Amino acid sequence: VWLDYGPLSYIFISPAQHQIHHSRLPEHRDKNCGFAFAFWDALFGTLYVPKDREVFPMGLGDGTDGEWHSIWRMHVWPVRMAAKLLTGREPLPDENVQRPLT
């Protein structure tokens, strides 16, 4: 979904900016690395805010990380998980457990 936040794109990462992050085009490489806030990318010179809708090939990743494939999951799920961790309703991750590389 190509969704641009207009002027708010300089504060928050929009779905359109996230797509740029996964572009194969050289001019998009190493752009929009932030997760939710675009001001970090602005600070480090990696912010790319498209002026209009862009069409480009995408292809980073193998497509198995389906938990982030909706606007809901991208913006709300991390906040919900943080709240669960802070309130003790979710156990903290065990640092000694070996996890698969993603």
Domain ranges of the chain: 6-52+65-87
**pLDDT of res. 90:** 62
The span from the first CA to the last CA of the chain, in angstroms, equals: 24
This prediction's pTM: 0.55
% of the chain exceeding 70 in pLDDT: 77
Cβ atoms of 41 and 34 within 8 Å: the answer is yes
Cβ atoms of 46 and 30 within 8 Å: the answer is yes
Q: Is the pLDDT of residue 92 over 60?
A: no
Cβ atoms of 28 and 15 within 8 Å: the answer is no
**pLDDT of res. 83:** 85
**pLDDT of res. 68:** 58
pLDDT digits (tens, 9 = 90+) for 6-49: 999 999 999 999 999 888 899 998 999 988 999 999 999 999 99
**pLDDT of res. 45:** 93
Q: What amino acid occupies position 14?
A: S
